[in-house]
Amino acid sequence: MEKLKERWGLKTNWDVVAILIVFAINGSFSAWIAKPVTAFLGLSSETINPWIYYPLRIILIFPIYQTTLPIVGWLFGQFRFFWEFEKKFLARLGFGFLFNKKS
């Protein structure tokens, strides 16, 4: 726990526990949200080949996860941590230009 607190710049054990809970909840939440989104788009394993459907669903889960992570983090009082996490993660994927300040 101490290593995570030091690595993530946290002060309390509760912060570490809350962050781990957020990661766990958000993974399930984003997969749960993807189901009605795929249905809305008219995609299902009955209408298209499962070898196409499931990779598409996984690809769809990714932006849902990234979008909902700061929101779920906010519910646990960890918005700042997850906002910085998102910016760093998206910058590594090549989307850092979205967060650069123009001064």
User: In the predicted model, what is the mean pLDDT of residues 4-32?
Assistant: 92
pTM, entire model? 0.79
pLDDT of res. 103: 46
Alpha helices, H only, 41-49 = none
Summarised one tens digit per residue, pLDDT across range 41-93 is 888 888 889 899 999 999 999 999 999 999 999 999 999 999 999 999 888 88
pLDDT of res. 101: 64
Residue 22: which of 62, 88, 82, 83 has the closest Cα? 82
Element (H, E) at 103: none
- Cβ 16 vs Cβ 10: under 8 Å: yes
